[in-house]
């Protein structure tokens, strides 16, 4: 049986007694939930930018989160290392985009209990995911969540030619108000239409950040269903475990300076785009 990865809502319930709680929640943590109160605007990318992770990225553009080491090299780009209990190294963009395209070149981490993840996450916890289990060398998972609400019926598995852990593969998300498309090596593997996401209510539709990094879903303290989904309990003696990201390309389809939630509905129609008077001078296509 294929168990879905818990959303932030279920992570609290499933992992409340585990040392894994903080790393899992930190990947989808929001500083201010606009569904509950008025929050600061989201800084927009407003451009097309490619980030090569052969060296430490600018802290003003990518924020490093959670325990664990990230090494940078020409050969493997950013190597996210999970070596011990509690490690879940994560890079999250400081910028947001509102409808757009994300392409990531990745090699996944090995090992039962390990998950390599690419997540697009919003302040109100809309979420679009690629997740690859360390026990899988030829299959990847796609999933989505809306407003942090758990739903274990939305995940899908997709076969991939070649080895996910030793070969580079391109994982792409194309996200608009009309459709959400997933591509692997330029081949479309899944399309989600808003009408098929609870009549648009469960469709991810708020400004997103890019969050990348591995996590140990099979930690000894995790719920049994989560460990089973992840392929079993992780054995750190088989580590360290490493997920590699060569590059990230992000295209923001809007050209706004920032995004403002107009109300507490979390609907795309409520998002106000504050335009630039002059073109943006930050976030040029470089590290």
**131 counts as catalytic:** yes
Q: Which two tokens stand for residue 3?
A: 């168990």
- Domain presence at residue 84: yes
Report the CATH number at residue 241: 2.60.120.200
Give the pLDDT score at 24. Answer: 41
Give the pLDDT score at 287. Answer: 53
Average pLDDT in the 176-180 region? 98
pLDDT averaged over the chain?
88
- Domain presence at residue 112: yes
- Comparing 172 with 286, which gets the higher pLDDT? 172
Instruction: Tell me the pTM.
Output: 0.87
Average pLDDT in the 25-47 region? 84
| Residues 243/96, Cβ–Cβ less than 8 Å | no
- Domain presence at residue 26: yes
Residue 23 has pLDDT above 90, yes or no: no
- Domain presence at residue 201: yes
User: Length of the chain in residues, anyone?
Assistant: 287
| Residues 156/190, Cβ–Cβ less than 8 Å | yes
- Domain presence at residue 1: no
Locate the DSSP E strands across 110-263.
114-122, 127-133, 139-145, 156-159, 169-175, 180-184, 187-192, 208-216, 241-252, 256-261
Distance separating alpha carbons of residues 92 and 103, to the nearest angstrom: 15
Residue 26 has pLDDT above 50, yes or no: no
As for how many domains the chain has, the answer is 1
Average pLDDT in the 55-65 region? 94
What Cα–Cα distance (Å) separates residue 151 from each residue in 5, 6, 203, 224, 265? 10, 8, 12, 18, 19
Maximum separation of any 2 CA atoms in the chain, in Å: 56
- Domain presence at residue 285: no
- Domain presence at residue 129: yes
Give the pLDDT score at 21. Answer: 33
Of the listed ranges 17-31, 107-121, 164-178, the least confidently predicted one is: 17-31
127, 150, 224, 238: the catalytic one is 127
Residue 278 binned pLDDT confidence (cut-offs 50, 70, 90): low
Residue 12 binned pLDDT confidence (cut-offs 50, 70, 90): very low
Distance separating alpha carbons of residues 199 and 193, to the nearest angstrom: 9
**238 counts as catalytic:** no
Give the pLDDT score at 277. Answer: 61
Residue 281 has pLDDT above 80, yes or no: no
- Domain presence at residue 39: yes
Give the pLDDT score at 36. Answer: 95
User: Residue 16: which domain range?
Assistant: 8-275
pLDDT tens profile 204-253: 999 999 999 999 999 988 899 899 999 999 999 999 999 999 999 999 99
Q: Which residues contact 206 (CB under 8 A, 6 or more apart)?
A: 34, 98, 122, 123, 124, 126, 261, 266, 268, 271
63, 75, 103, 131: the catalytic one is 131
Give the pLDDT score at 140. Answer: 97
């Amino acid at each position: 049986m294929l168990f879905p990865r818990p959303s932030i809502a279920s992570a609290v319930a499933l992992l409340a007694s585990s040392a894994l709680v903080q790393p899992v929640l930190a990947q989808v943590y929001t500083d201010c939930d606009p569904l509950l109160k008025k929050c600061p605007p989201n800084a927009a990318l407003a451009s097309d930018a490619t980030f090569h992770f052969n060296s430490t990225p600018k802290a003003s553009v990518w924020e490093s989160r959670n325990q664990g080491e990230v090494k940078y090299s020409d050969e493997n780009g950013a190597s996210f290392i999970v070596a011990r209990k509690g490690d879940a190294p994560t890079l999250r963009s400081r910028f947001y985009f509102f409808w757009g395209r994300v392409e990531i070149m990745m090699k996944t981490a090995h090992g039962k209990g390990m998950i390599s993840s690419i997540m697009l996450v919003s302040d109100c916890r809309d979420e679009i995911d690629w997740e690859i289990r360390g026990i899988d060398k030829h299959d990847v998972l796609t999933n989505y969540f809306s407003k942090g609400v758990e739903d274990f019926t939305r995940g899908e598995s997709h076969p991939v030619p070649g080895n996910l852990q030793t070969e580079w593969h391109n994982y792409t998300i194309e996200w608009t108000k009309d459709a959400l498309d997933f591509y692997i090596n330029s081949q479309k593997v899944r399309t989600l239409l808003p009408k098929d996401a609870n009549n648009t209510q469960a469709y991810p539709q708020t400004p997103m950040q890019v969050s990348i990094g591995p996590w140990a879903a099979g930690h000894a303290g995790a719920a049994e269903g989560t460990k089973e989904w992840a392929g079993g309990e992780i054995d750190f003696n088989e580590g360290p475990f490493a997920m590699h990201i060569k590059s990230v390309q992000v295209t923001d389809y809007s050209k706004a300076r920032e995004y403002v939630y107009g109300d507490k509905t979390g609907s795309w129609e409520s998002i106000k785009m504050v335009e630039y008077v002059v073109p943006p001078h930050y976030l040029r296509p470089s590290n």
